[in-house]
Structure 1
Amino acid sequence: MVHGLTETLLTVVCLLVCGQATAQNANTGLRKVYEWVHGGLLYQYAQDSSFTLLVFNVPFRAVKADFEVHVQDTSNDGIKRTLLLSLRHGSIPVLQPYNESVPASFVMPEDQESHHLDTNNSHNIISEAPAPGRLYMAASILNPLNNVVEYLRWGDDMGGSFQINVRAIYTVRTAVKSLPAGDVSTSNVVTGEAQTFGFMVPAFTTAYSIVVSNCGTNGSSCPVTMTTSESLSVSDQSAVSVDCRQQAERCVLTRVSPKVEGESFVTFSLDDVKGIENVTFDVSFSMLGCSAVAIPYAERLMTDNGVEKNQPPQYKYLTGYDVNEAGYGVTDSPSCVNLGPLGRYSKSSDSVFNAFFGMWTTEGDVVPEIALVVPDFSVEVRTFTIQDSVDTGGILSILARVADDDWKGVIWVCAMAQRVGHNGSLSECQDGALLTLNTTATTNTSAEHDGVNEIVEVMDEALLPFPVAGTWYLTMQSQCLGSGRPEPCGVLPMIELTVTMQQCGPRGCGDYGTCQQYLQGTELYASCECHSGYRGLGCNDGTYGLSKGKQMTAVYLLTLSNLAFIPAIVLALYRRFYTLAAVFFFNSFFSAFYHACDTSKVYQLCIMNYGTLAFCDFFGSLLSFYSLFLTMARISDTLRTFLLMSGALIISVFVTEDRHNEAFQLTPLFVSGIVLVVSWVRETRLRGKLYPSKGRYLRLLLPGVVLAVTGIGVNYGLMWHQSTYQFTHSFWHFALMVTPLFLMPPRGWHSEVKRGLSVSAQDIIRTGMQPEPRQQQQQPLPCRQSVNIDHDEPAMFDASMNSISSDDRNRLI
């Protein structure tokens, strides 16, 4: 009991520390390894960068991996969605769930598997033949294509929130015999019990052969099936089998371009033959790799950059060079020539995915120009290393160009991860990127343009997104053509190679995207962030893209519609509401430039940081109507100034905290509206009649309120469909900026309130301008008299006040 509890506690501690636990079964020779990965929030797929990345560590000699996927809908909206899971060994998967078009020269990975699951249930995914090392899982929520398009065009919210957790269960084989290279081993296989051997394949191996001999049976054939694979899984797609009954005496299985720098396996099984229960045989294993060559021969196949610049052109192109002069003819040439690794140089220490691989100079420096002579009788090999978590998030660019314009033939350049191209099969380049330089593909190597002959370069390019970590092998071979048929080369061609790591490729993301860097856990990668409805690795898929005309129209509507504030600004200045005019100008200015920066990525003008512009736009909009309501209110200037300043401070806090929060937006408007209503009710009670006048309600206030409500309804009622946003929001600008023309109080509103006086114009004219008849007794004016004043006639009010003498004003006060 104590021992079991201790074992459980140790397992829990292991899970907390390393995320893995192991369960051993000695009877079957298999063990279980558990690993938990908490992925957190799931991203909803819109483009190549919108996925959640999970990284697993597959143990050595794993037979299979069982992933238990648990998805939780944290939004609880009940909508069923599709979960996309993509698995890839050694690097980040490349997602293309909606068949986005692939840019030219891009080579998509073929070593990843994808699964489509629903989000309402837990799922088990079984991955057969997982390679040891880092296994990447990209998870993303798929939405209907229309929703994705609206998001790419206008930033429409796709809704929903999900989290993912995954437990991986690895089945690992513990008992595997080793098969030494070059030695002869004796093995015995029994019916129903297969024998599996593991053997290491070293670097630069182009092929290996396994030979079965001395098969101890009475029959004339050996009833053994021999299968080689790169994993221990029975369903490994890389497996190659041979039936030894179809071969006499010696049974040979040869594998070309195997996976190097790792372990491969061979399995022997006994066929169901009557009377034969076991068979004994000898097994031998041999490899074919890049042979060491003489130094003079290697020097003739590569040019040092420092020497090349000082030598005449005939040396560079090896004019008149006979391959037999080097001592290696076609028959005795090596299978491949290893010219050594390329050097690596980072262009900038401040930028990732910005490095090139080049030739070493005699001074120990690395230069990006790679000039190589490509033989036709053997394969030439160069290597470079893609670093895990450093290069795997970028794009590997390989550019090849024929240096000799007069040479005729075909050159193949094959780039493969942990595989070496084999002599004679290089043109296939399975599981790699193939560059073909065919100088005979066109009838002319020069073209006439404006009367001038221009040389047409023969070149090819391969772009590999998220390359697999490890050693990459560049294998090259040429073939000369004479009279349209292959023939031995009398003059070997030279090519110029450029191998670089880039963020988003040499052409970037075009006009409709920007290259962004993303960090998930310890994995850093770069991808194009597309806009305006464009999609794809290079934002090149314009199937649902917005035209430049539509984008320009949206920009003009959303920016120029802010000019509707000019009449309100002029009226505020005329009526001497200078603070209100300043707020209106602030709102109009920053709203125009905010939309100029936010509406289109193609036609974009950002005079300040985007966050600053967004803050000023929301702050100015709220402050404009808050100030307008306070201006309309019948309160003293002291109280108005206090409310205006304190409200501006509170609004700035609200906008900084969450500018889209409806409660934050409505609170200042609600407070200023309460002040306005209370002041008007108080004034109505003092007057004993409706305030403002009924005519002002009908002619000005009611139309202004209707216009404002209409603008709000159009903007927030139709804004959910982002395709009409530029029209609805522009109308919102017009409606809200014209509304102050109806609601703004007349001139002299504040000065009359400051005196604490409320009299009619007729009373002032009668008192100050016309003397009463002598027979009438003059009635003294009380210190405070509440009489009506008609603010719908501001000009008459101003003239009347100017006509009152100072003595009369004192009497009135």
Structure 2
Amino acid sequence: QTPCPPAPQTRVPHISLLVVFVPSYTWRVQVEVLRCRGAGGCPLWLRVRAKAPPLHNSTALDCREQAPCRLALDLPFWQHWYYVLVERHPGVPGTVSFQLTVQLTDCSRASVARPPFLPPSASMNMPHSFGSAGGLALADSPPPAGPNSTRQPSGAPAALPAGERCWPVRPTLRNELDTFSVHFYIFFGPNVSVPPDRPAVFVINLLPVLDSGGVLNLELRLNVVRQPRGPKRGQTRGAACAGRVGSLAGFLLSVNASASLSRLRIPYPQTGSWYLSLRSLCATEFEPCANVTAEVYLRAYLSPCIDDCGIYGQCKLLRTNNYLYAACECKAGWNGWGCTDNAEAFSYGFQLLSTLLLCLSNVMFVPPVAIAVRSHYLLEAAVYIFTMFFSTFYHACDQPGIVVFCIMEYDVLQFCDFLGSLMSVWVTVIAMARLQPVVKQVLYLLGAMLLSMALQMDRHGLWNLLGPSLFALGIMAIAWTTRTIRRRHCYPPTWKRWAFYLCPGALIAAAAVLLYAFVETEENYFYIHSIWHLLIAGSVGFLLPPRAKASARLGPLPRRKGCGYQLCVNEQEELGLVDPAVASINSICTS
């Protein structure tokens, strides 16, 4: 052991505080008060606490009732400071002198090849007295026995042989595959032989930040149990305990002949060194069995989520305050770390009903397609068919439960569904403006490109729907206002068009937008979104303009000399400024 420098001399009237650093591989910290002299024996209180000074309500040892006054802590926290508080009983007159010894027992240089031995220890002797000067010194040898002390008093736990406390620790090999995906390989493994006389101990090092956001998985399987001939002491079982440094508590895995496989999952494990201890136990007496060697399969690895969240969840990488971690996003009412808690899960009938509602509600696009074809709006009809097809199969693939059917990748179906929905609104409003064919085709193509860009940026944004709709309505309003000014009459000219088509269609479309923006949630998604399909498709059937009537044709005029043909065009109707039914014929003839 490396000696520590002496502490400076202090003068403390009623209390003394000592700080001791506990290194790695320490399995016992023993604090002992020696050569204590005072009124009424040894009127002192002894307290020990890790990481912080002891409190008055902490566990304390009365040195008047113990001879010697000794406090031992097994399996202390490694790489931490321990605080030792010695306090005099209140109201005790005179001076109390004592010597404080702290002994650290570690296994860093233990060897099972040698005969049983006492592990190396460091003893810290501090002669001190309340009311007089004192000092601190470190000695490599055990503290001498004083008048009021013995080396092994009655009632104090006897020191166990080194073979019972110090065992060789076998390291593991780390192999990083991906984010929160690490495999720990055991040398000459993964099959491990567990001897009967001592445990098999392995260490797994989890790195800070890199390994704390996943799940630590341990798998133990019993393969072979070799036992010599003779009377049996009961069924042999294997046990493994996993725990961090400095903690008496751990996680227990148990396997036997009837249950040969055991798994343990620890979400978001604390970083540091984790130790796996395997030992053969006798099932009847739950103690180490003699001359029994078990061969087990041990597997340890890190994964982002538990079983990849199963069929009712999706494993996602999340970031909060620069902390990266993985978590399961559960669907269909499932909960839990791995989406395995079915306390609030949806039934199969409910999943089937929601899927049918979302898919069959797209049949409402059939009437708008028929109306568009009849009115010679073939491009608009193609957009409606595209929307109906991809919306149906997207919702069949988007279901969270087991009623799922995907004809292609989910991301492709989602993009096409959103693009088709927005394009249906766009082409319908542009068609209502009755623009010239060239202008209308340019707006159709420009809208498709801009909507694709917007969806690539944010598919679930509300302005992806409101932006194109408001822009198209602005174009339609400008076109209708221009026609109204030129004709000096409201456009469309007939009141029946307003009463039976435009007003109902506008109300239905506004209701659909309000439901989509303010009412739809994850809980009511399946029926509110189905209503959205019905309303948006129904509004298209009302708002789509009627077919433009053909202008009256003039009879063939007498051919002039030099004229090969004549082309008669109704100028006002071609520009879409008047209604074909009431337009007067004003032709421009060119030859």
TM-score tier by shorter-chain length is 0.7 to 0.9
SS in 2 for 1:389: coil
Partner of 1:514 in structure 2? Answer: 314
Partner of 2:519 in structure 1? Answer: 718
Partner of 2:171 in structure 1? Answer: 342
User: Does residue 223 of the first structure (1) align with residue 51 of the second (2)?
Assistant: no
User: Does residue 209 of the first structure (1) align with residue 38 of the second (2)?
Assistant: no
CA contact 2:362–2:392 (8 Å) conserved in 1 = yes
CA contact 2:17–2:83 (8 Å) conserved in 1 = no
Partner of 1:391 in structure 2? Answer: 211
CA contact 1:593–1:613 (8 Å) conserved in 2 = yes
Partner of 2:133 in structure 1? Answer: none
Distance 1:236 1:349 in 2: 50
Cα displacement (A) at 1:512 = 2.0
Give unpaired runs (5+ residues) of structure 2. 117-159, 228-233, 557-567
Q: Calculate the aligned-residue CA RMSD, in Å.
A: 4.4
Partner of 2:180 in structure 1? Answer: 352
Partner of 2:529 in structure 1? Answer: 729
CA contact 1:206–1:289 (8 Å) conserved in 2 = yes
SS in 2 for 1:736: helix
1:430 aligned to 235, 238, 248, which one? 248
Distance 2:316 2:441 in 1: 47
How has the CA–CA distance of structure 1 residues 521 and 565 changed in structure 2, closer, same or farther, with 3 Å as cutoff?
same
1:670 aligned to 451, 473, 478, which one? 473
Q: How does 1:411-430 map to 2 (within 5 A)?
A: 411-419=238-246, 430=248
1:471 aligned to 251, 256, 273, which one? 273
Q: How does 1:356-375 map to 2 (within 5 A)?
A: 356-358=184-186, 360-361=187-188, 367-375=189-197
User: Does residue 622 of the first structure (1) align with residue 416 of the second (2)?
Assistant: no
CA deviation digits over 1:739-786, x for unaligned, max 9?
A: 33334344454xx3xxxx5x5xxxx7xx879xxxxxxxxxxx999899
SS in 2 for 1:510: helix
Cα displacement (A) at 1:494 = 1.0
CA contact 1:386–1:471 (8 Å) conserved in 2 = yes
CA contact 1:415–1:473 (8 Å) conserved in 2 = yes
Cα displacement (A) at 1:339 = 2.9
SS in 2 for 1:723: coil
User: Does residue 196 of the first structure (1) align with residue 11 of the second (2)?
Assistant: no
Cα displacement (A) at 1:562 = 1.9
How has the CA–CA distance of structure 1 residues 782 and 415 changed in structure 2, closer, same or farther, with 3 Å as cutoff?
closer
Amino acid at match of 2:194: L
CA deviation digits over 1:455-496, x for unaligned, max 9?
A: x33443332222222222333444436xx4578734324141
How has the CA–CA distance of structure 1 residues 558 and 235 changed in structure 2, closer, same or farther, with 3 Å as cutoff?
farther
Amino acid at match of 2:184: F
Cα displacement (A) at 1:245 = 0.8
Distance 1:210 1:202 in 2: 18
CA contact 1:341–1:384 (8 Å) conserved in 2 = no
Distance 2:92 2:572 in 1: 127
CA contact 1:394–1:467 (8 Å) conserved in 2 = yes
Partner of 1:408 in structure 2? Answer: 235
CA deviation digits over 1:13-48, x for unaligned, max 9?
A: xxxxxxxxxxxxxxxxxxxxxxxxxxxxxxxxxxxx
Cα displacement (A) at 1:253 = 1.3
How has the CA–CA distance of structure 1 residues 693 and 268 changed in structure 2, closer, same or farther, with 3 Å as cutoff?
same
CA deviation digits over 1:304-358, x for unaligned, max 9?
A: xxxxxxxxxxxxxxxxxxxxxxxxxxx9672235233232142x53453321231
Partner of 1:266 in structure 2? Answer: 84
Structure 1 window deviating more from structure 2 (541-550 vs 466-475): it is: 541-550
Cα displacement (A) at 1:622 = 3.3
Distance 1:564 1:647 in 2: 24
Partner of 1:708 in structure 2? Answer: 509
* Count of aligned residue pairs for this structure pair: 521
How has the CA–CA distance of structure 1 residues 202 and 737 changed in structure 2, closer, same or farther, with 3 Å as cutoff?
closer
Bigger relative CO (Cα 8 Å, ≥ 6 apart): 1
Distance 1:717 1:522 in 2: 32
How has the CA–CA distance of structure 1 residues 266 and 783 changed in structure 2, closer, same or farther, with 3 Å as cutoff?
closer
Distance 2:307 2:462 in 1: 37
Distance 2:589 2:181 in 1: 85
CA contact 1:337–1:380 (8 Å) conserved in 2 = no
Cα displacement (A) at 1:292 = 1.9
How has the CA–CA distance of structure 1 residues 612 and 665 changed in structure 2, closer, same or farther, with 3 Å as cutoff?
farther
Q: How does 1:11-410 map to 2 (within 5 A)?
A: 190-203=12-25, 205-217=26-38, 219=40, 221-235=41-55, 240-248=59-67, 250-287=68-105, 289=107, 291-294=110-113, 334-346=163-175, 349-358=177-186, 360-361=187-188, 367-375=189-197, 378-404=198-224, 408-409=235-236
CA deviation digits over 1:484-529, x for unaligned, max 9?
A: 4578734324141424122246633222222223455775433222
How has the CA–CA distance of structure 1 residues 184 and 412 changed in structure 2, closer, same or farther, with 3 Å as cutoff?
farther
SS in 2 for 1:335: helix
Cα displacement (A) at 1:268 = 1.7
CA contact 1:223–1:244 (8 Å) conserved in 2 = yes
Distance 2:379 2:370 in 1: 12
SS in 2 for 1:354: strand
CA contact 1:337–1:379 (8 Å) conserved in 2 = no
How has the CA–CA distance of structure 1 residues 782 and 243 changed in structure 2, closer, same or farther, with 3 Å as cutoff?
closer
SS in 1 for 2:269: coil
Distance 1:337 1:279 in 2: 36
SS in 2 for 1:225: strand
How has the CA–CA distance of structure 1 residues 677 and 726 changed in structure 2, closer, same or farther, with 3 Å as cutoff?
farther
SS in 1 for 2:36: coil
SS in 2 for 1:214: strand
Distance 1:332 1:622 in 2: 78
Q: How does 1:550-561 map to 2 (within 5 A)?
A: 550-561=350-361
How has the CA–CA distance of structure 1 residues 672 and 246 changed in structure 2, closer, same or farther, with 3 Å as cutoff?
same
TM-score of the two chains, using structure 1 as the length reference? 0.55
Amino acid at match of 1:243: D
Distance 1:245 1:518 in 2: 57
How has the CA–CA distance of structure 1 residues 209 and 723 changed in structure 2, closer, same or farther, with 3 Å as cutoff?
closer
Partner of 2:129 in structure 1? Answer: none
Cα displacement (A) at 1:255 = 1.3
How has the CA–CA distance of structure 1 residues 476 and 657 changed in structure 2, closer, same or farther, with 3 Å as cutoff?
closer
How has the CA–CA distance of structure 1 residues 400 and 609 changed in structure 2, closer, same or farther, with 3 Å as cutoff?
closer
Partner of 2:494 in structure 1? Answer: 693
TM-score of the two chains, using structure 2 as the length reference? 0.74
Distance 1:395 1:782 in 2: 76
How has the CA–CA distance of structure 1 residues 371 and 391 changed in structure 2, closer, same or farther, with 3 Å as cutoff?
farther
Distance 2:358 2:388 in 1: 11
Cα displacement (A) at 1:599 = 4.8
Cα displacement (A) at 1:590 = 3.3
Distance 2:569 2:454 in 1: 48
Distance 2:371 2:434 in 1: 20
SS in 2 for 1:537: coil
SS in 2 for 1:197: strand
How has the CA–CA distance of structure 1 residues 459 and 228 changed in structure 2, closer, same or farther, with 3 Å as cutoff?
farther
How has the CA–CA distance of structure 1 residues 417 and 690 changed in structure 2, closer, same or farther, with 3 Å as cutoff?
closer
CA contact 2:27–2:106 (8 Å) conserved in 1 = yes
How has the CA–CA distance of structure 1 residues 337 and 476 changed in structure 2, closer, same or farther, with 3 Å as cutoff?
farther
CA contact 2:180–2:213 (8 Å) conserved in 1 = no
Distance 1:579 1:782 in 2: 24
Partner of 1:562 in structure 2? Answer: 362
CA contact 1:187–1:280 (8 Å) conserved in 2 = no
Cα displacement (A) at 1:612 = 5.3
Distance 1:535 1:494 in 2: 38
Distance 1:785 1:411 in 2: 94
